[in-house]
RNA sequence: GGCCCCAUCGUCUAGCCCGGCCUAGGACACCAGGUUUUCAUCCUGGCGACAGGGGUUCGAAUCCCCUUGGGGUCACCA
């Protein structure tokens, strides 16, 4: 059994697409499961759009997800280089060989002619295809036109017949060759094109399995034909179902974030991203939703991948993210959230470090309420607000005002609390004593707690109020109650 | 439009390859209760699908065909 060699071959023309991340993940898992090699290759033959910064970002994204590669542009390997533009010599040699055997031919048709050709075809409702005008040029003609300075493209001469290949996701797929156009392998400027280089490099790098997105399914016959023309054995394929937007179409910016980076910035834990990606087209056993990347590796098989496209369900993703958030220790979660708090401008990293134990309490209080790291700042912003100007959310205000006796109760409680605080009551004592105080007055808990919560936090929900009083500090809590007494009686609850 | 791929709850899926154990299981979302000082967490319950039609078979979500629907792709992009 030959060693499995799979690759992920992104083009550095933008940020890492979330679908690309899943493709990488499945390739990686397949290699790791079978003890094979996972190779990273950069497809940068599109000189216009390829950028080194994109390449760096992509590598970084993969690393963050915990995917490591055995060979690649940064780590090298036995088949270096791993950037396609650095392999031009090899590609040229293959092209020359194909030209030599007649499997490919030079084509001098201009872009303009091709465009006109296509226009005419589609106007006549014919399928757009090259008319093979240059397919029968003699060697002499080609040489003459080259000599005259004309720059031809190189086209693949598609033979007759039917092309079949193994697809591990959907069994065998077949295409009639007559449906395949005489596609361009090399541009007029000498730069080879994707469908051509990918085959050259996969051959040179000994790639045994090609798992990629379903949008490449129609490219496959072109490539398989090329393997045959080159006398090479085609690898086995596996076309992964597309990740769809809520409109049911290929995930695009129209319907949601498409870049891995977007989700990282939105504060989804990496492990949650990996876990969720697994579920788009694959299932561990149908009942286990939460599992680790190690479990993926131990159980992954390309044959178990679903055939149908999967709509990216952000609701489920957020739920899963929350599950991961709750699994962290408070300490870890605090560290993970820190950048988001800093970015929101609530506090600097140094300030949070200074008040580490306070910060940990804050995080502990919100851990079961947030689903992403990025949700924390908005939830705790009230802690950093001016006592007299805590923003009141409409819902909080409504809840507070629903209590007819709320204001009077809060006023009385304010006096009682000041006294209790002065006595140095602990949080637990304060909590118990307050409940006793409420009970003694013969009123329901919310009568006090709603206006109190609104005054203190301005939010309709949140952690235990006595934990909050400790976090705020007694003086601040009292100041906020004083402000609340005023603001709750004002028509719009605005700070005075 | 041609070609190709696909088709189980609203969504992600298990089951399908090797028909019976499926009165189709799980999860998210949603709804209703419970717990709670609120929100959240947590717990309980509910809603909810084999696209349609033909076959094959004692028996089909599972096999075959057709229809319908959806998607992908038709570049000197990848």
* CB contact burial A275-299 (16+ within 10 A = b; e otherwise): bbbbbbbbebeeeeeebebeebeeb
Token pair 């394929």 is found at: A237
Token code pair at residue A326: 């709750």
Give yes or no: A178 in active site.
no
A112 CB and strand B closer than 7 A: no
CA distance A399 to A402: 5
DSSP state of A106: E
Of chain A residues 62-101, which have a beta carbon within 7 Å of strand B?
none
A244 CB and strand B closer than 7 A: yes
Please name each of the domains of chain A with its CATH number. Answer: 86-240 (3.40.50.620), 260-327 (1.10.1160.10), 328-384 (1.10.8), 387-496 (1.10.10.350)
| Helix, strand, coil % over all residues of chain A, rounded to 5 | 55, 10, 35
Q: What is the pLDDT of residue A255?
A: 86
- Through-space separation of residue A94 CA and nucleotide B16 C1' in angstroms: 44
pLDDT tens, position by position, for chain A (496 residues)?
679 999 999 999 999 999 999 999 999 999 999 999 999 999 999 999 999 999 999 999 999 999 999 999 999 999 999 999 999 999 999 999 999 999 999 999 999 999 999 999 988 888 889 999 999 999 999 999 999 999 999 999 999 999 999 999 999 999 999 999 999 999 999 999 999 999 999 999 999 999 999 999 999 999 999 999 999 999 999 999 999 999 999 998 888 899 999 999 999 999 999 999 999 999 999 999 999 999 999 999 999 999 999 999 999 999 999 999 999 999 999 999 999 999 999 999 999 999 999 999 999 999 999 999 999 999 999 999 999 999 999 999 999 998 888 899 999 999 999 999 999 999 999 999 999 999 999 999 999 999 999 999 999 999 999 999 999 999 999 999 999 999 998 766 666 5
User: From the candidates A51, A127, A133, A253, which is the catalytic residue?
Assistant: A253
CA distance A388 to A253: 42
Q: What is the pLDDT of residue A1?
A: 61
Ramachandran angles phi, psi of A311, nearest 5°:
-75, 130
* CB contact burial A447-462 (16+ within 10 A = b; e otherwise): bbbbbbbbbbbbbbeb
Token code pair at residue A288: 């286990």
A314-327 helix and A270-279 helix, angle to the nearest 10 degrees = 140
Virtual CA dihedral for A246, A252, A254, A259, nearest 10 degrees? 110
Token code pair at residue A357: 């134990």
Query: Which H helix or E strand runs over A413?
Result: helix A406-422
**In contact, A390 and A382? CB cutoff 8 Å:** yes
**In contact, A138 and A126? CB cutoff 8 Å:** no
Ramachandran angles phi, psi of A489, nearest 5°:
-90, -15
CA distance A482 to A485: 5
Token pair 């910016």 is found at: A253
CA distance A117 to A181: 13
Chain B nucleotides with an atom closer than 7 Å to a protein C-beta: 1-8, 10-15, 25-29, 37-42, 70-78
Q: What is the pLDDT of residue A494?
A: 63
CA A340 to chain centre: 18
- Through-space separation of residue A176 CA and nucleotide B54 C1' in angstroms: 29
**In contact, A196 and A91? CB cutoff 8 Å:** yes
Strands A153-156 and A162-167: unpaired
Strands (E), A197-342: 209-213, 236-240, 243-244, 310-311
Which candidate, A90, A54, A56, places its Cα nearest to that of A73?
A: A56
Token pair 């001098």 is found at: A108
Q: Do you find a cis peptide bond into A81, omega within 30 degrees of 0?
A: yes
Q: What is the pLDDT of residue A492?
A: 65
A49 CB and strand B closer than 7 A: yes
ipTM for the whole complex: 0.96
- Through-space separation of residue A76 CA and nucleotide B6 C1' in angstroms: 39
Q: What three-state secondary structure class fits A212?
A: strand
Token code pair at residue A240: 């992964």
Token code pair at residue A185: 């392998």
A380 CB and strand B closer than 7 A: no
């Amino acid at each position: 059994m030959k060693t499995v060699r799979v690759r992920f071959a992104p083009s550095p023309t933008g940020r890492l697409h979330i679908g690309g991340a899943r493709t990488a993940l499945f390739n990686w898992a397949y290699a790791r499961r079978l003890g094979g090699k996972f190779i990273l290759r950069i497809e940068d033959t599109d000189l216009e759009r390829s950028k080194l910064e994109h390449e760096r970002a992509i590598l970084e994204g993969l690393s963050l997800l915990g995917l490591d590669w055995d060979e690649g542009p940064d780590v090298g390997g036995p088949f270096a280089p791993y950037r396609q533009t650095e392999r031009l010599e090899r590609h040229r040699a293959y092209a020359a060989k194909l030209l030599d055997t007649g499997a490919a031919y030079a084509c001098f048709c201009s872009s303009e002619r091709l465009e006109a050709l296509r226009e005419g075809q589609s106007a006549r409702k014919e399928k757009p295809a090259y008319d093979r005008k240059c397919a029968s040029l003699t060697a002499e003609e080609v040489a003459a036109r080259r000599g005259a300075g004309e720059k031809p493209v190189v086209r693949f001469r598609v033979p007759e017949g039917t092309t079949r290949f193994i697809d591990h996701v959907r069994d065998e797929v077949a295409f009639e060759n007559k449906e395949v156009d005489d596609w361009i392998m090399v541009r007029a400027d000498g730069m080879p094109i994707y469908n051509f280089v990918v085959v050259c490099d996969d051959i040179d790098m000994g790639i045994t399995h090609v798992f990629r997105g379903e949008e490449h399914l129609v490219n496959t016959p072109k490539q398989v034909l090329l393997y045959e023309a080159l006398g090479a054995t085609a690898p086995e394929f596996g076309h992964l179902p597309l990740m769809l937007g809520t409109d049911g179409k290929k995930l695009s910016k129209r319907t949601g974030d498409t870049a891995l980076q977007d989700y990282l910035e939105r504060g989804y834990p990496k492990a949650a991203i990996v876990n969720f990606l697994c579920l788009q087209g694959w299932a561990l056993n149908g009942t286990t939703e939460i599992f680790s990347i190690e479990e993926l590796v131990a159980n992954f098989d390309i044959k178990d991948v679903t055939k149908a496209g999967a709509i990216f369900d952000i609701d489920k993703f957020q739920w899963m993210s929350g599950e991961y958030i709750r699994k962290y220790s408070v300490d870890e979660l605090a560290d993970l959230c820190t950048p988001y708090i800093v970015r929101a401008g609530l506090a600097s990293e140094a300030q949070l470090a200074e008040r580490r134990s306070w910060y940990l309490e804050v995080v502990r209080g919100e851990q079961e309420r947030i689903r992403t790291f990025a949700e924390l700042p908005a939830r705790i912003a009230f802690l950093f607000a001016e006592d007299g100007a805590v923003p009141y959310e409409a819902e909080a205000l409504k809840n507070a005002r629903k209590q007819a006796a709320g204001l009077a109760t809060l006023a009385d409680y304010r006096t009682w609390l000041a006294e209790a605080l002065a006595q140095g009551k602990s949080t637990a004592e304060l909590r118990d004593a307050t409940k006793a105080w409420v009970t003694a007055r013969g009123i329901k808990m919310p009568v006090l707690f709603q206006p109190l919560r609104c005054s203190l936090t301005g939010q309709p929900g949140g952690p235990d109020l006595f934990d909050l009083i400790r976090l705020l500090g007694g003086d601040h809590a009292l100041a906020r109650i004083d402000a609340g007494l005023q603001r709750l009686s004002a028509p719009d609850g605005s700070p005075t």
